[in-house]
């Protein structure tokens, strides 16, 4: 593995010596198996807003919550048997009276470590005398059960190699016509700017003589991107996805012992 980009909410890396099937397996594990917190149940005590209870509950469920994987476990694996305890769920309270705009930051959590990722997300707008009062229960869940439990995006593409055999008179023009950030022109040569965009090299071939440039797919090499929605870091997404896959392999192996 070779890390190409590392940001707060994104990691881009190259994997060599792997098949597309392996990369796709890792992608599916990250999206479907990495657990994060999300609102599962909502108890309304007052809702005179313009939103039906069901609509408001749905909006709450889609608000990303910062997740502490060390402090919580999946309800199915919890000692309480999924009945609900401090190890597998947390209570959130929302109380607001109009006229006002209700933001995610108005949601108060019993655990300060579990809170909305984006405080300025709008939950609802209340007119004069309209009220919302509710208690929500957030639990740890997986994307394969509902997409509100997905931790972010994971995707990949084949890795490509670009070669240029001679100088180009129109190198500057080609660099401008290509997708942004793919090439720059230097003394008649096209210089790749971002290896993570190697899948876009081929889109530039139509502007250059075929005998001057070539693009070749690198066998067994893929560019993989993991992008978090903020509940956990991209590194945690990747590590948890790998651990989930290893766990399933061990379980599969155990069936044949």
Look at residue 10 in the predicted model and tell me its pLDDT. Answer: 95
- How does DSSP classify residue 65? B
Q: Does an H or E element contain 242, and which?
A: helix 234-254
Q: Output the pLDDT for position 144.
A: 93
Residue 187 and residue 127 in one domain: no
Share of residues in the chain with pLDDT > 70 (%): 100
Instruction: Kindly report the pTM of this predicted structure.
Output: 0.86
Which domain-ending residue is among 98, 133, 149?
Answer: 149
Q: Which of 79, 77, 75, 66 is nearest to 37 (CA)?
A: 66
Residues 89-106 have a mean pLDDT of: 96
Are residues 139 and 37 in contact, defined by beta-carbon separation less than 8 angstroms? yes
Domain boundary among 96, 120, 149: 149
Each residue of 145-172: pLDDT tens digit? 999 999 999 999 999 999 999 888 888 9
Q: Count the Cβ atoms, other than its own, within 10 Å of residue 52.
A: 10
How many domains, the chain?
A: 2
Mean pLDDT on 177-206 = 89
Same domain? 54 vs 156: no
Please say whether the dihedral angle defined by the alpha carbons of residues 75, 76, 77 and 79, taken in this order, is positive or negative. positive
Confidence at residue 249, expressed as pLDDT on a 0 to 100 scale: 87
Confidence of residue 66 (pLDDT cuts 50, 70, 90): very high
CATH number of domain containing 139: 2.170.120.12
- Same domain? For 83 and 22 the reply is no
Please, is 242 exposed, middle or buried when counting C-beta atoms within 10 Å of its C-beta (0-12, 13-18, 19+)?
middle
134 lies in some domain: yes
Reported as a single tens digit per residue, the pLDDT across 18-41 is 999 999 999 999 999 999 999 999
181 shares a domain with 104: no
Strand-pair category, 213-228 with 108-109? unpaired
Residues 6 and 104 in one domain: no
pLDDT of 4 strictly over 80: yes
Is the same domain home to 145 and 102? yes
Instruction: Count CA within 13 A, CB hemisphere, residue 102.
Output: 25
195 and 134 assigned to the same domain: no
Residue-number span of the structural domain to which 176 is assigned: 2-32+152-226
As beta bridge partners, residue 239 has none
């Amino acid at each position: 593995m070779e890390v190409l980009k590392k940001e707060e909410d994104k990691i881009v890396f190259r994997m060599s010596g792997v098949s597309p099937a392996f990369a796709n397996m890792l992608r599916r594990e990250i999206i479907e198996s990495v657990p994060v917190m999300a609102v599962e149940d909502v108890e309304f005590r007052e809702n005179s807003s313009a939103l039906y209870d069901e609509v408001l509950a749905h909006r709450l469920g889609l608000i990303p919550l910062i997740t502490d994987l060390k402090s919580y476990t999946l309800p199915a694996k919890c000692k309480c048997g999924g009945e609900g305890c401090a190890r597998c769920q947390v209570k959130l309270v929302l109380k607001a009276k109009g006229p006002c705009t209700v933001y995610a930051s108005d949601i108060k959590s019993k655990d300060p470590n579990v809170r909305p990722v984006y405080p300025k997300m709008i939950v609802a707008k209340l007119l004069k005398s309209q009220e919302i009062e509710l208690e929500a229960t957030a639990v740890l869940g997986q994307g394969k059960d509902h997409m509100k439990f997905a931790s972010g995006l994971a995707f990949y593409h084949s890795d490509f190699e670009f070669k240029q055999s001679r100088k180009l008179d129109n190198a500057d023009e080609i660099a401008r016509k290509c997708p942004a950030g793919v090439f720059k022109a230097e003394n008649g040569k096209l210089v790749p700017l971002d290896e993570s965009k190697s899948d876009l090299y081929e889109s530039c071939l139509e502007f250059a003589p075929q005998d001057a440039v070539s693009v070749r797919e690198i066998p067994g090499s893929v560019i993989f991107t993991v992008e978090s929605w903020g509940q956990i870091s991209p590194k945690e997404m990747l590590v948890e996805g790998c651990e989930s896959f290893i766990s399933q392999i061990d379980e599969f192996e155990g069936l044949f012992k």
